[in-house]
Structure 1
């Protein structure tokens, strides 16, 4: 029997300073993809460009292999796990908070499909991508604001180009054609995302969010749901859960303290929301995650 390569791979170790702990921050990455010992989630759209080798993902409703020369986009709010990464694999990409995502001009159906668990996949890549993705990472991590802003703007333009060329959607193990209708995102949705990103750890509700965007609460809720496929409160809760996830993994705070620090009004509300996303209560998640980290 061939020797397993799993032990030869590095494992992903999420932390309070990682993508889970900063759900409103745009982060770039470049390197060898690390295997995840368990599913995780975060409140950003994830962009993966496979430069070499291949990786395999278990998503909420489907599994997916991405190979060299492919770009995949998916909504990180669904629990997902990279359970296979070839020894030679190299990838690059970014985690896009919705406030950046909705500043792009994309096909009208794209955001709803992404939030619904669909992965967008393209093989229309070239030598420019092999040069640009690593360069964007280096620009963003250079400490120079002008370079970082340039990288973000170029990445957003590159994502928009995905939907100007042939691409596929992957959902529940099926490949389908994609919609071609285009439409500009509503400026009000961007304002909503801006306000939530700045205040998700505070005591805010749908009325506060709508007021910040200058909208009637009912209209704001309908507009956001139409644009994203989810409710305002679901998105607000997801940001809080992402923050709480990181604290559970790497702090010694009590479950009550994690709930309060993450914007939940009570531990019972936190437990209910956490179980709905993770499939287990926060205490079990903390125990299992720490046990996995010792493997």
Structure 2
């Protein structure tokens, strides 16, 4: 059973996971570039997110964009809870409603108040996903991803009819009508769908009809990250997936993930993860023996 590691670097990726976590008070916020989903069989967790205390209740499917600083400050009657992490780029490519994506990008927590039948089904799903990935991740990963995507499509449909969001969403919802936010979201989605190609800032700016300098400033002010920084995060995350899931040569992985040279790949990978690609592959494979 996992719990928060106070020594982990900010934005160190978790990748695609479905694990059982032990609740502990977090002495500092965590940030990572994945969508995080929580599910509790009992009790409650209280997060501090964006200055708001948000309580995750038992038997309620809850998700948020974990690039927003989040910190567990209190929990009640919880011995363990499920945590799923999905790389941000994968999530954006699933075709979920743009309004739901936007709420996550601006820092909202989305939660579904399910009936007893749906909650029982969710509990069984999380248990099965966890067991499948623990038993044979290579065999079951695609199956779990398809089932998870279907579940989130159901959540999106339910949420759009009966939205349940975090306490800070009154301000967030007001901001969502901003054309600037809409343009920033389009740029984030464009990067997620095209990060493996030789992306230029001008190309990203053109997709929202903005000057490159203005587009870069708008994106940084909206998301707290640069356009090039987000491109690099997606590429490094894809490289991590390939390093663990394939036996391809590192230079081939670098090009497959969108980097145009091995030296740039090695530098970006080390800056993002604190490890070399070779060291990352060796450690992951050792830990999974």
Q: Tell me the residue number matched to 2:168.
A: 172
Flag the 1:35–1:221 CA change in 2: closer, same or farther, 3 A. Answer: farther
- Contact 1:55 / 1:65 at 8 angstroms: preserved in 2? yes
Residue 91 of structure 2 corresponds to residue 82 of structure 1: no
Flag the 1:31–1:175 CA change in 2: closer, same or farther, 3 A. Answer: farther
Equivalent positions of 1:40-55 (< 5 A) are 40-55=30-45
Return the offset for 1:188.
9.8
Q: Tell me the residue number matched to 2:191.
A: 192
Equivalent positions of 1:142-157 (< 5 A) are 142-157=135-150
Number of aligned positions between the proteins = 219
- Contact 2:45 / 2:56 at 8 angstroms: preserved in 1? yes
SS at match of 1:95: strand
Return the offset for 1:141.
2.2
Distance 1:26 1:194 in 2: 18
TM-score by length of 2: 0.61
Q: Tell me the residue number matched to 2:228.
A: 233
Q: Tell me the residue number matched to 2:17.
A: 27
**Of 89, 92, 97, which aligns to 1:102?**
92
Q: Tell me the residue number matched to 1:13.
A: 5
TM-score by length of 1: 0.60
Flag the 1:131–1:73 CA change in 2: closer, same or farther, 3 A. Answer: same
**Of 111, 132, 135, which aligns to 1:121?**
111
Return the offset for 1:145.
1.9
Distance 1:19 1:134 in 2: 29
Q: Deviations over 1:191-249 (max 9, x none)?
A: 733665x7xxxxxxxx94249xxx934225769989xx64623534777999xxxxxxx
Residue 260 of structure 2 corresponds to residue 261 of structure 1: no
Distance 1:208 1:158 in 2: 33
- Contact 1:53 / 1:90 at 8 angstroms: preserved in 2? no
Flag the 1:66–1:240 CA change in 2: closer, same or farther, 3 A. Answer: same
Residue 138 of structure 2 corresponds to residue 138 of structure 1: no
- CA-based RMSD of the aligned residues comes to 4.3
Distance 1:108 1:85 in 2: 32
Distance 1:134 1:83 in 2: 26
Task: Say which structure, 1 or 2, has more relative contact order (CA 8 Å, 6+ apart).
Answer: 1
Flag the 1:43–1:260 CA change in 2: closer, same or farther, 3 A. Answer: closer
Flag the 1:193–1:67 CA change in 2: closer, same or farther, 3 A. Answer: same
SS at match of 2:166: strand
- Contact 2:64 / 2:109 at 8 angstroms: preserved in 1? yes
Return the offset for 1:22.
2.6
- Contact 2:31 / 2:67 at 8 angstroms: preserved in 1? yes
**Of 191, 205, 216, which aligns to 1:218?**
205
* Structure with the largest fraction of helix: 2
